[in-house]
Amino acid sequence: MTGNGLDWIALGLITAESSRIIPRILSFYPHPPDALRASRDELESLGLAEEHFQCVISGGVYEKAAEEDRRLRELGGRAVGFGEEGYPPLLKRIPDPPLVLYYLGDGGAWSEPAVGIVGARNPSAYGRAVAESLARELAGRGLVVISGLAEGIDSRAHMGALDGGRTIAVLGTGLDACYPRQNKKLAERIAAAGALITEFPLGSEPIGHHFPQRNRLISGLSLALVVVEAAMKSGSLITAKLALEQNREVLAVPGAITSKLSVGTNALIRAGARPVTCWRDVVEELPPPLKDRVLGAGRGGAGEAAARTGEEKKILGCLVAGGPVHIDELVSRSEVPLPDLLAVLLDMELRGLVRPSPGKYYTRSL
């Protein structure tokens, strides 16, 4: 990368840890790389730390940018600046877009319509199943699923999306680090089928304040954000707040009123977030042309054609359209053990194949 591209990397190096000054740069400099040629007084007025504006004035920031670009290419990554072709169009609309993005994988992945899925790092079995199933169904219908590679809901969302399509992981570190470490294999799969992206340069560690800063990119890249399980004080609710400020749709999966993991999501629903009971609820909140296309595309037909396993086909065969069947009768007819039946029914419900009714009754949707 030469010329203007290095300007963007240089500017990114001095703003990565201070995203609060990005709106000022964009406001004062119609062509932001011009900030790198500003005077000391102008740079100081922007709020740059002394170490940064001294680096700019001395010209040392360009040497660092060239080294960053070299190391990035050795890793197989690339960088795209705010003013360059290929920069995510949705990110340009948020108040504080990163001035450079580093990525591994397909930079075109963020040009596709996307839905963010976030939630608890220590979710329940229910939360894990919901996140994975929702992501699988949405990705299978052509939507890119975006999350943060964290343990718990994030990881499950990425895994589900990889089963059905593409996903993007937004990192709170440089591309040469993986946090948490146990997700290294998952990160490699994501880079192969989608993209890993970050605003933090190589060598950046998983520092606490990186993750709230990272969250604005998860919501900013998404048309809608789904929260699956969240305590009242959690990073997921911070992301939901950012999504609302960015004029994105916010949805939440309802949970048991006795669970601490449902306090945050149930509060979002009380505040006006749409409750999510299946993938269709998410798609209904997308812009009309996209919504119509996704709903019209389907995913393999209706009825038994939509069933993936022998157990699902048995269950659909036991359900008569328009007639609810009690869970006990389903166990008897399908010969599927109750614990397995409940897990399969939950997945089928999220995919819109069956509908639950009060009293543990189920009805076939298709």
pLDDT digits (tens, 9 = 90+) for 283-319: 999 998 899 888 876 554 444 445 567 788 888 888 8
pLDDT confidence tier of residue 56, bands split at 50, 70 and 90: confident
- For residue 54 the two structure tokens come to 């001294």
Tell me how crowded residue 245 is: count the other CB atoms within 10 A of its CB.
13
Average pLDDT over residues 50-56: 76
Average pLDDT over residues 335-351: 85
Sign of CA dihedral 92, 239, 153, 174: positive
pLDDT confidence tier of residue 280, bands split at 50, 70 and 90: very high
Per residue in 235-267, pLDDT (tens digit) is 999 999 999 999 999 999 999 999 999 999 999
Sketch out the chain's domains with CATH numbers: 4-105 (no CATH), 111-191+205-297 (3.40.50.450), 303-364 (1.10.10.10)
In this structure, of 42-46, 191-195, 199-203, 320-324, the range with the lowest mean pLDDT score is 320-324
CA 150/CA 127 separation, integer angstroms: 14
Which pLDDT score, from 0 to 100, does residue 19 have?
Answer: 87
- For residue 138 the two structure tokens come to 């949405």
Which pLDDT score, from 0 to 100, does residue 304 have?
Answer: 42
Residue 206's identity, in one-letter code, is P
Per residue in 126-152, pLDDT (tens digit) is 999 999 999 999 999 999 999 999 999
pLDDT cut 90: percent of the chain above it: 63
CA distances from 132 to 40, 266, 279, 294 (A): 51, 20, 11, 19
| CA angle 137–142–148, rounded 5-degree value | 70
197: helix, coil or strand? strand
Which pLDDT score, from 0 to 100, does residue 302 have?
Answer: 42
Sheet holding 224-228, edge to edge: 78-81, 100-105, 195-198, 167-170, 144-147, 114-119, 224-228, 249-252, 274-275
Residue 251's identity, in one-letter code, is L
- CA dihedral 161→165→170→175, nearest 10 degrees, is 120
Average pLDDT over residues 58-85: 93
- CA dihedral 99→100→101→106, nearest 10 degrees, is 120
Gyration radius of the chain over CA positions: 23
Contact 294, 326 (CB under 8 A): no
